């Protein structure tokens, strides 16, 4: 090989190296990822509750910072909708599944090809009802984080004084205990309520309780094709619920003139009431000395084992400028370890089956974990409007203005107008 040939080979080699340096960046430091801040909104939980999750995420993804903002539940949904409409909302936001029908168009679903779980794996991993998050093409709108359900709160001191050893498990037992613990003055005023239910407006979970009673009677309320499906069992459920505010009923223990049901319970003026895991803290704050227990929602003998429950999940905004990073965070939050961190700090019950299996068996935590497996809900077309419809029907039955059948007919008609 002569000298000229060697020179040409050398020049070509140098040229190739130059091209590799320029085009492919060989020999240069890899590009530094651009730092990104994800705006994350939630309701109820302080930042201290989320801090362990946020720190764990940042340790794994150091270039992504999560800025959390807390809202009260009362103002959250309206604020979220308005800000998203204005284009200034968060990248990721917590949603209740009850809001999914209304807010679905604001969510950037994760395509099936990007989902870490197939639909079958998703159903196996999470509680029943969570499959509402599976889209028609196999993508997902989100992954459930926490499942909260309606349980029975009971005053242990009142129970002990009356010689009642345990919380009622059936509605027959419940009515018997309520009758035994209700105290009525000579003028007909209730001095102490055995059970705070029966009305619409001063029982915080009137809709949820009535719905749970209907579920236990195997009533779907709304069918899969989007039509109201209130059967005879729904009328029986409504009549039973309203009987506790009917002065002519042996179950009479509550009136519309009494305070909020959970307030009355916290002050020791009601022996039994109903609430969720979130309500436990508010009861303690109102009366730190109250000695109360939590038990599963009573059931009808021979009925379906059901309570009312809703789950929350992190959703990614369709308007986000950082969809990839936002979904990284949303998926991380619902993972086993991160969900365990959040649930441990917040006291919320799990929506993952593996975390339910690992939950304590005793105490309130055990009650809410077990109930997550039997909790159901139905898609409310308009939250406040539906609550008014049920409240009016309940109060009408209790006062004698409506028969259960007539009240059911009114609910059917009014619900159908709200359904799409």
Tokens of 295: 């038990």
Is position 173 within any domain? Answer: yes
Is position 167 within any domain? Answer: yes
pLDDT at 28: 52
Closest CA to 376 of 265, 247, 221: 221
Asked whether residue 293 falls in the same domain as residue 335, the answer is no
What does 79-127 look like in DSSP terms, one character per residue? HHHHHHHTT---SEEEEEGGGHHHHGGGB-PBPGGG-SS-HHHHHHHB-
Is position 393 within any domain? Answer: yes
Rounded to whole angstroms, the Cα distance separating 414 from 418 reads 7
The pLDDT of 255-261, averaged and rounded, is 96
Distance of CA 116 to the CA centre of its chain: 23
Can you give the residue range of the structural domain that contains 24?
1-31
The pLDDT of 75-101, averaged and rounded, is 90
User: What total of structural domains would you count in the chain?
Assistant: 3
Q: How far is CA 192 from CA 112, 196, 266, 374, in A?
A: 55, 10, 13, 32
Query: Which residues lie below 8 Å from residue 334, measured CB to CB, with a gap of 6+?
Result: 142, 143, 144, 145, 313, 314, 352
Is position 367 within any domain? Answer: no
| Average pLDDT across the chain, whole number | 89
Asked whether residue 27 falls in the same domain as residue 120, the answer is no
pLDDT at 31: 62
Asked whether residue 252 falls in the same domain as residue 344, the answer is no
Rounded to whole angstroms, the Cα distance separating 411 from 28 reads 70
Q: What is the dihedral of CA 80, 92, 66, 89, to 10 degrees?
A: -40
Asked whether residue 280 falls in the same domain as residue 338, the answer is no
Is position 386 within any domain? Answer: yes
- The H-or-E segment that residue 119 falls in is helix 119-125
Asked whether residue 85 falls in the same domain as residue 138, the answer is yes
The pLDDT of 99-105, averaged and rounded, is 84
Asked whether residue 113 falls in the same domain as residue 79, the answer is yes
Give the residue with greater pLDDT, 157 vs 137.
157
At 374-409, the pLDDT tens digits run 999 988 888 889 999 999 999 999 999 999 999 999
Asked whether residue 116 falls in the same domain as residue 153, the answer is no
Distance of CA 125 to the CA centre of its chain: 17
Is position 195 within any domain? Answer: yes
Residue 296 · residue 168 · CB < 8 Å:
no
Number of neighbours of residue 375 by Cβ within 10 angstroms: 26
Q: Is the pTM of this model over 0.85?
A: yes
Is position 330 within any domain? Answer: yes
The pLDDT of 367-371, averaged and rounded, is 96
């Amino acid at each position: 090989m002569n000298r000229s040939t060697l020179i040409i080979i050398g020049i070509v080699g140098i040229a190739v190296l130059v091209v590799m340096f320029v085009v492919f960046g060989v020999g240069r430091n890899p590009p530094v990822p651009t730092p990104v801040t994800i705006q994350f909104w939630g309701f109820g939980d302080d930042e201290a509750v989320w801090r362990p999750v946020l720190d764990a995420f940042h340790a794994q993804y150091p270039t992504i910072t999560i800025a959390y903002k807390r809202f009260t539940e009362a103002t959250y949904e309206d604020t979220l909708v308005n800000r998203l409409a204005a284009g200034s909302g968060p990248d990721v936001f917590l949603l209740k599944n009850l809001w999914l029908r209304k807010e679905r168009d604001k969510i950037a679903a994760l395509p099936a090809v990007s989902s870490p779980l197939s639909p079958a794996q998703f159903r196996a991993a999470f509680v029943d009802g969570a499959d509402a998050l599976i889209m028609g093409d196999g993508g997902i709108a989100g992954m459930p984080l926490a499942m909260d359900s309606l349980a029975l709160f009971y005053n242990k001191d009142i129970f002990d004084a009356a010689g009642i050893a345990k919380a009622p498990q059936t509605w027959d037992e419940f009515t018997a205990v309520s009758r035994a613990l209700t105290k009525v003055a000579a003028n007909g005023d209730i001095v102490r309520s055995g059970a705070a239910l029966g009305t619409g407006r001063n029982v915080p979970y009137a809709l949820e309780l009535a719905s749970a009673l209907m579920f236990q009677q195997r009533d779907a309320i709304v069918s899969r094709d989007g039509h109201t499906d209130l059967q005879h069992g729904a009328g029986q459920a409504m009549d039973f619920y309203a009987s506790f505010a009917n002065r002519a009923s042996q179950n009479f223990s509550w009136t519309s003139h009494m305070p909020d049901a959970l307030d009355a319970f916290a002050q020791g003026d009601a022996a039994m009431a109903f609430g969720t895991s979130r309500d436990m803290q508010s009861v303690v704050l109102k009366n730190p000395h109250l000695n109360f227990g939590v038990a599963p929602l009573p059931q009808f003998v021979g009925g379906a084992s059901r309570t009312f429950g809703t789950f929350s999940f992190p959703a990614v905004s369709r308007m986000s400028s950082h969809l990839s990073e936002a979904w990284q965070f949303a998926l991380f939050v619902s993972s086993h370890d991160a969900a365990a961190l959040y649930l441990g700090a917040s006291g919320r019950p799990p929506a993952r089956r593996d975390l339910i299996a690992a939950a304590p068996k005793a105490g309130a935590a055990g009650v809410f974990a077990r109930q997550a497996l039997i909790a159901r809900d139905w898609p409310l077309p308009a939250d406040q409007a539906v609550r008014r419809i049920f409240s009016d029907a309940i109060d009408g039955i209790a006062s004698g203005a409506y028969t259960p059948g007539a009240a059911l007919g009114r609910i059917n008609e009014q619900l159908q107008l709200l359904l799409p």
